[in-house]
Every structure is written in C-alpha cells, then in structure tokens.
Structure 1
Amino acid sequence: MKGSDSVISETTLVPLSPKDAACFRDVCRAAGYTQTKLHETFEFLVPPPSDRLPPALLASLGPCESPFDVLARLFFLGVPVDADVAGTLLPTAIVQSCLQSGLVSQDESKLCPAATLVPVDDLLFAADLQRTDYLDNDLFVPTLCDAALHLNAVAIHNRGGKTLDLCSGFALHGITASGRSESVVASDLNPRAAEFARFNAALNGCENVRAVTGDLFSAVAGERFDTILANPPFIISPSAVTTYRYSPFELDGFIKIMFAAVPEHLEEGGTFQTICEWVELEGQDWQDRLRSWFAGSGCDVWVLSANRQFPSTYARSVLSQSIDDESELSTQQQQWEQYLRQRGVAAIQGGFIFLRRRRGNNWFDFTELTKPVREPIGDAIAQGFASRDIVFGSDGDDRLLSSRLAVADGLRQVETSHWKDFRWKRDSIVLHLDKGLPVTIGIDGYIRTLIEQFDASRNVQQCLDLFSKEIGLPIETGRKKGLDVVRSMLKNGILVAMPK
C-alpha cells in the first residue's frame, strides 16, 4: 500500500441521527447545494481531484460569501475553509454535525474535509476525498464518477421487490432505489464501502438498506432479487492494482464470471443492469463472443454499445487520469499496448448490458448508442424490453402484425436539400430521438411515409397495407419490406407499442 493508506483507513464516518440528518439535508437544500448549481458554477458533474484542481479554477475562487460556497469548497472541491467563516455562514449545529460525524476535521483555524459529499437528485452521498494519490489504494471508496452517473441514468425503475447494489461503493444505486424497493442490499468487497453505505443510508433517511461485505455474490449467497444494479471494476489493464477500478482478471474475465453468476440471483422477471467494458479479439465477431457468454442462461440480453477505442487510445485515456509526467505516461502506455496486442485485442468497447430472467426462448440483441445519454432513460429501457418481446416473440409475426404502434414522443426530423435545376433536391432525412434512448438514423422518403401511418388507431398490418397503396406496391411486397423496417424502428424506439 501507498503512504496514503493511513489517511484513508482512519477516515471513518459516524452516521447522523435522523434529526441531524434531516437538518443537514434541509441546510444543503436551502443553500442550493445541487447538481445543477455545482455544474453551473464549476463546469464539473463529478468532483475533480482535490490535488489536481485546475489553476484557473483555484484563481477564480474568491472569498466564501454564502453557505453554498462553504459546502462546495469543502465537499465538492475538497479544499479547507476558514472555521470562523464556516461558522458564520452555516448553522452551528451543522458545523458540529460535520465535526462529530467525521465529515470534516479542524486544523487550527481551518475546517478540513475528510470526505466528499455530493448531491444526486434529492439525495446526498459521502465518499472518500477525490485525490490521485488515493486511486491505487485498495481501501479507497471513490466518489461519484461518470460511469456511476451513466448507470444511474439508464436504470430501470422497477417498483417493489428486493434490490441489490452490487460492487456498490458508497451505495449510490441502492440508496437511489430504496424509495421504490421493499428492501435493498449494498454489497462490496471493500469493508469501508459498507461504512459509507450505512452513513449514506442514515443521511438520506433510508431505513431499508443493508450493507454487507463480500466478493461479487458471496455475501448474498442463496438470495434472489428483483433488481440488480452493478458498477463493477472493469478497466482492462496488464495488472489489477485496485479493487474498484481495474478488472482483477485478464482482459474482461471478471465481468464474464459476474454474468455467469447473475441468473441464480434473479427472480423470474428480475433485471440485472450494469455498465462495463469488453474486448474485441482479432478475427472474432464480438457479438458472437458475448452471445456465447449467455447461452443457456435463461435470460434475455440487451447490449448497448456506447464507445469503441483502439488499444493505444484506450491506454492513454485511462493512464492520464492518474499520471501527469509525460515520460512515465508514454512508458506505461507502451506496456499496456504491448499487453493488449499480445492477447489479440483489436479494440475495447464500453457500454451497458441488461439481463432479464424469463422462461421460454430467450433473445439476445445489440444496439449502438449514437449519442451520449444525458437524461434518465430508465422508462425507455423498460419500453425497449417490451418492444423486443414483440419483435422476437415465439409466435412469429402474428403478435407484431396485430400490435398498435405510435411514433415516439420527442422524434425530430432534419431534412437537408440543395438547389439544382430550378428546384430543391433532397440530400438527406435524419431522424433524432431526443427523449428516451438517444437515436440518430438516416432514412429515405419511403420510410418516412411508412412511419407516418402509425398513429395507434390501426394495427401494423393495416398500416403496412395503407403504406403499400400509397406508394403503389403490391400488398404482399409492402408487408414484407415494411415489416423489416417496423422491426428496426420498434427496436430503436422510433415506434412504440401501445397498450391494448
């Protein structure tokens, strides 16, 4: 372990009483200590490393003049604040709660943060200070990161039942789900993660959260859940140097082991949702490779690929998060590239993988995300499962042909044309779905005409017949060609099934 170990291991938070927790939340809310205001003020969605704060940011910090200033500097930026100033701007009881709980310590005239405390929606979450010299410490409990935010954005909001937050860290996903779950278990290999999970459950008034310690599913052996959310260690590297960031097995072996264990911990109809990375191997179709992982699992599987990087780009992107020296960065990058090249890695993909336990003939599907996920789309993911049940149903096309579909809310069309020979000539038609699953696809005039038929008043067969008549195709030809388009539009969310 590194020299920062003693600092991390001594950071133990004492959960607040219900009264003090409610008071703390009220003060943060009144101060405007929110995701939105933090982003507007600092242009960061997640806390930056406090030992690598941009010089321009440090130079821009004026005197603390509001409760927001105090909270943001202590718990988002991780910098000390004058104790007298904090005492003037914050209620005395809140300062005392911070000291007694261990969120801050007092060093002469300064209040020094001992943890981050970040808002997510209406909740607050404590974790270790964000410092680059903590990153490779196996006791480190990291604060909010992009991967956690992305998984939170795509999470299906199942109501009721039991929820498992696997590889939970500070329990973002479990506590977020606690209000709609009968019970929640937060499980992590790091014992300090359980301490933060208990603190955060108390801070947010969540009484149905149980924090446990164990590797993968070992702490919940024999238990089944209706919802499992997992943000596992998935970064692919030559060696596993942490328990929260890097995959502890070669390449993507860890997530393969995780997926193999999922079905026995899901209730019928239960969902598993994760963000992760996997490799493309030279000469092997990556979809076929992933499909083989889930053969015979008893689960439907939906893979959403969000990014693809070549080994050189991937290595530099990961290493630059903790290495400033260009010479060291270059040396490490070469070692990573050699490791990946020797194992036949052509590229590394990242995204989301969803499983749903279901009896019957299970399906496997893939979607490439063409735009970043910016807003919560859990309802669209749930709708995507329902749409695929229609497309891949065991009753062939009968269910699809009898379904009533409508164009999704938030669909936008962009058409470009150029002037030639005294008239406009169309160059392209592009559809953008701005609500739900982010989609951008190019279509032609025929497909646009087909989409226009779907207003939920007719079933698919009737819409295809109207389309065929409108463009002058034989009915059977129109049905055959149009059905392929309908399947695609239903899967990507352009069309949605209406309740019967």
Structure 2
Amino acid sequence: MLPEPDTDLCRDLAADLHSAGFTAEALRDAWGPAADDAIARGLRSPASRALGDRGDALAVLGRLLVLGMPQAAASVDRSLSRAGAAGLVRLGLAEIDGDEVRPLAVVRPQSYADASRPGRDEMTAQWWIASDLDEAALGGPLPEDHVLGVGGASLTLAGLQLPTPAERTLDIGAGCGIQALRARAHVSHVVATDISPRALSFTRLNALLNGIDGIEVRLGSLFEPVAGEEFDRIVSNPPFVITPRVADVPAYEYRDGGMVGDDVVAAFVTGVGEHLAPGGVAQLLGNWETRDGMPGLERVRGWVESSPVPLDAWVVERESLDPLSYAELWVRDGGTLPGTPGFARLVDAWLDDFAARAVTEVGFGYLLLRRPADGSPTLARYETLHTALAGEGLGAHLAAALEAHDRLSALDDAELAASVLLVAADVTEARHHLPGAEDPTVIELRQGGGFGRALGVDPGLAALVGACDGDLAVGVLIDAIADLLEVDAGALRADLLPRVRELTFTGFLRFA
C-alpha cells in the first residue's frame, strides 16, 4: 500500500511534470512512433536507445517514470525542481539507492477528450496516471497485487461512458482510478471501490496529481461497500478474466474476481439493479462463456432477466476466442511467455477448467444496463459486432441511441410517419453494379462514427434515407417513393417503418 498522498506534494509534482512538457505527444515525438508502440508490447529498449544520452527533463522523466529505468539522483532533482527525488520517495513512487533513484511505480501521461473544449483541440488535455511497474521494468511475471495502468480495456470503457451530466457515480474495481477520473468530468461525486488497498491508494494519488476532487474511495468487493445506496451511474471494468480455481495459478487482483467462470459478471448483472436510481445507467466490460451449446449472449440475457429489478439491456459482443486462444492470452498477460517454465502447465490448467464446464467459446464485450424510470423495460438488445471499435465519441453515440430509443418507444407507426428525420452527417452510400448493368446489385449504407455499421439496403430504403433532409415527414416521403417505384404505399410503409426505427436507434437517421 502506498503512503497517504500529500496534497501539496502532488501539486508540486504536477507543476514539475507540466514544466517538463511531460505529455504523451511530447514523449512520442522524443522516441518516435515505432518505439512508442513497442512500449505497449513490453519493449522499452527502442525508446531508451532513441533518447540516447539526453539529459533534459523530458528524457530523464521519460526513462524513470515511463520506462521504469533508474536515473541519477542529481538529474532527477534538476528535472523535478519542486518535488525532487525526495518527493517521489515520500509519495511511494521511487526509492533512493546511493546516487540513483529507482522507480517503484510508473507515471504515464494520458491524453483524453475534454468535453469543455469540443472540436479539433478536444484531445489536447492530459492526465498523469500512476500505477505499478510493468513486466518490462520488473523483468518477469507480475505480482498478484499488481495495480494495472491505463490499457486497451480501460480506454475502451472510458470511451463508452455516457458524457451526460448526473449527480452520483459508482466505480467498481477502480484500479488506478481512470474510470473515476473520467466519470468525474460529468458527475458531481464519484464513489470508487476496490478490494485492493493499494489500488485505492493509486486512485487517491491520481486524483490529487490531476487536481480532481469529488472522488471518495471505499474498500470492498462488488456492492458490499455501498449497501443500501443508489447511483445515477455505475461503471466497472471488473476483474472478469476467467481463471482456473486451482493451486499454482496466479490470481491477479486486477483481473481475477475469485469466482468460477464468468460468475463475477453474472453477479454484477443480477445485483446492479438495486443500486441504480430510477433512470440510472450501468456500464461495464465483461466475458461470457458459451456452455453446453448455449451461446454466451443468451446466457447474458438470462442474467438480465434474473435481475430482481427489471432492467433495460444493450449488450455488444466485441470479439470471441476459443479456449486455447483465451488461455494463451491471459497466461501471456501475467508475464509468463511461451518457452518459459510454467507456460504449458498454466495453459493446461485453463483448458481443464473450460472442459469441466463444457465451454467452447468465450465472448468479450460491452454491457449497458438501465433501470427504467417507470419500472417497465423496453430495450433488450443483444448483438455481435466483431468489427466494432470503441472510440472517444462512442459514449455520445450510446447516449444519443438511448434518447432515440425512448422517443421511438413513445411513437406508434402513425406518429413515426408524421415525424421529420435527417440523415446523419457521417453516413455515406455505396452502390455496386455489375459491368454494364444499369441498376445496382448492392446498395450499402456506411456509418463513419458510432459502431461503424455497414448495412445492405434495398432501393426503397435507400431512397428514403437519401430524402431525409429535415423537410418532409417520413410518411410523405414513403408515399412519394411508392409512386416512383409503382408499389402499394401501405405495404411500403409496413416494410420501411420498422427499419426506420432501427436506423434511427443506430444513428443513421435522427429526429430533425
């Protein structure tokens, strides 16, 4: 566990990092894109070689705090004129060994989208995120109480968070605190929980280092620390990794919830409803197993339907892996590599565990759960989008989809036909013709934002989408298209209106 962070010292360290120009972009420029990408794969030597013998503050702090390499104490003191090497020691981030400063943690700059500065400059804001040393710096497997820094999964969830205002958010499994920091940009108060006292220490440190208040930390598992409380938002990157419950298999706190199979995600889904205020939304990442021939998404549907509190659900399976690929992924993640002692034994332990439950596939994806304000669920969407990419704008896309769903749910077909719609600005159309053919064989609509969906459409729907310019009502447009195509207008309405609902929910169309 880290020492309790000192507010003034964190402020001094932040000022030093700012003075050094310690940003993600500056470091990437200093050691180059290829070396920067190599760091994410656990290779630090390309970045170190690129810095050479540079002794400026950016280079010294990059080696010490990002690459995890010891640096001369005098160089560190020059680079941190306010906090100094002694300040890093007091914060538990380093130790002094003779004339060297040895890192005990990493502090990495992380760019994020600042909602207060929309447009081209919205990605220029920075956080500094402290976490435990990685495998490259440690030179071997991670300890079981390792606190993970910002990775692909945490960035995915941060991008998924709804960017709309609320009062209270709960962050379950806070880790280094990245989700709590992200949530605080849109809510007044965040309660961050974790089973790891060390993780909560990093959360407190990172909040102070970035000058963010309103984050309260509590120790405990799942919903235990918030018994009887309700929240407007709940966000979690839970320790969902499926891990064999046998001896000699490391149980990393940051990824292993201590349960069998996908039970930790099931427990979250069935228990979250009572902690959501009416209208409240929970968002999390998770794994789910395909067992005995039952697809994983259907098992997730069963968890939602088992919730004592009725829930809206939108679940997206982003990818799926066979048991062997899954086992290799997470054995490598812990720092045990092929060819090293124990790799084959650990993989076999995973395969035995999956075989015991007749697991043939493991899915990974995003879950959005909502407690309906009136208690009556209207959204039950379970879909596979293996090409989906979560980006900074995906949270806004989810918020717009929920708003569209609620509005659509209140409209019958006649009212929808009387509505005026606009085609979204990011939608494009592609038409494919056989050589010499006048009419297209394929018409495709593509979405530039959101989940990047691509849909094959027929001429009638393509004509309707193309005509949605915010001028005429949908029904009027359909009648005109029916005349043009020489088909029955009533039949065309019956065919197109359900698809208009889908296109409006998924963001191809929006209400004018």
Task: Indicate whether the TM-score tops 0.5.
Answer: yes
**Separation in structure 2 between the aligned mates of residue 406 and residue 367 of structure 1, nearest angstrom:** 25
Q: CA RMSD in A?
A: 2.7
Q: Quick check: 1:361–1:394 contact (8 Å CA) kept in 2?
A: no
Q: What is the CA–CA distance in structure 2 between the aligned matches of 1:437 and 1:497, rounded to whole Å?
A: 19
Tell me the distance in 1 between the aligned counterparts of 2:421 and 2:292: 41
Structure 1 pair 456–38 and aligned structure 2 pair: CA distance change class (3 A): farther
Query: Which shifted more, 179-188 or 95-104?
Result: 95-104
Correspondence list, 1:193-212, <5 A: 193-212=199-218
Q: In 2, distance between residues paired with 1:387 and 1:376?
A: 17
Query: Where do residues 384-463 of structure 1 align in structure 2 (5 Å cutoff)?
Result: 384-391=401-408, 393=409, 396-417=412-433, 420-421=435-436, 426=440, 428-463=442-477
> Structure 1 residue 287 and structure 2 residue 263: aligned?
no
Report 1:129-278 matches (<5 A): 129-131=133-135, 137-239=143-245, 241-278=251-288
Counterpart secondary structure, 2:60: helix
Q: Residues 248-306 of structure 1: CA distance to partner in whole angstroms, max 9, x if unpaired?
A: 22211111111111111111111101011111223224333222211253221110221
Deviations 1:43-96 (A, max 9, x none): 5579648xx535544544412343222222222221122223333444254544
Q: Structure 1: which 5+ runs fail to align? A: 1-8
* Secondary structure class of the residue paired with 1:341: helix
Between the aligned partners of 1:80 and 1:280, the Cα distance in structure 2 is 46
1:263/1:486 CA distance change after superposition, 3 Å: same
Aligned residues: 482
Once residues 390 and 182 of structure 1 are traced to their aligned partners in structure 2, the CA distance between those partners, rounded to angstroms, is 27
Aligned with 1:481: secondary structure?
A: helix
- State the shift of 1:469 in Å: 2.7
- 1:319 match: 331
In the alignment, the residues of structure 1 paired with residue 413 and residue 130 of structure 2 have an alpha-carbon distance, to the nearest angstrom, of: 51
Q: Does 1:112 align with 2:102?
A: yes
Q: Percent identity among equivalent residues? A: 25
Alpha-carbon shift at residue 451 of structure 1 (Å): 1.0
Structure 2 vs 1, CA of residues 366 and 401 (structure 1 numbering), >3 Å: closer, same or farther?
Answer: farther
Report if the CA contact (8 A) 1:409-1:435 is conserved: no
Instruction: Out of 256-265 and 170-179, give the one that drifted further.
Output: 170-179
Asked if structure 1 preserves the Cα contact closer than 8 Å seen for 2:57 and 2:79, the reply is: yes
TM-score, normalised via structure 1 length: 0.88
* SS of corresponding position for 1:452: helix
CA distance in 2, matches of 1:238, 1:28: 42
Distance 2:484 2:355 in 1: 54
Residues 414 and 163 of structure 1, relative CA distance in 2, 3 Å threshold: same
In the other structure, the counterpart of 2:129 is: 125
Q: How far, CA to CA, are the matches of 1:138 and 1:437 in structure 2?
A: 35
* 1:35–1:45 contact (8 Å) kept in structure 2: no
Aligned equivalents of 1:431, 1:394: Cα separation in 2:
27
Residues 426-480 of structure 1, C-alpha deviation per residue, up to 9 Å, x if partnerless? 4644433222333233334443222112223333333332332332221111101
Residue of structure 2 equivalent to 1:352 = 366
SS state at 1:246 partner: coil
Letter in 2 for 1:165: D
1:308 and 2:298 matched: no
CA distance in 2, matches of 1:124, 1:276: 26
Is it true that 1:28 corresponds to 2:28 in the alignment?
no
Unaligned runs of 5+ in 2: 113-125
Letter in 2 for 1:251: G
The 1:55/1:442 distance shift into structure 2, 3 A limit, reads: farther
Which stretch of the first structure deviates more once superposed, 88-97 or 478-487? 88-97
| Counterpart-to-counterpart distance in 2, 1:247 and 1:135 | 19
**What secondary structure is seen at the aligned counterpart in 1 of 2:187?**
coil
Counterpart pick for 1:62 among 41, 52, 55: 52
Give TM-score scaled by structure 2 length: 0.86
Q: How far apart in 2 are the matches of 1:302 and 1:273?
A: 10
- Of stretches 313-322 and 148-157 in structure 1, the one that deviates more from structure 2 is 313-322
What amino acid sits opposite 2:339 in the alignment? E
Contact 1:48 1:77 in 2 (8 A): no
Letter in 1 for 2:129: F
Deviates more, 1:349-358 or 1:173-182: 173-182
Q: Where does residue 4 of structure 1 map in the other structure?
A: none
Q: 1:161: how far off? A: 0.5
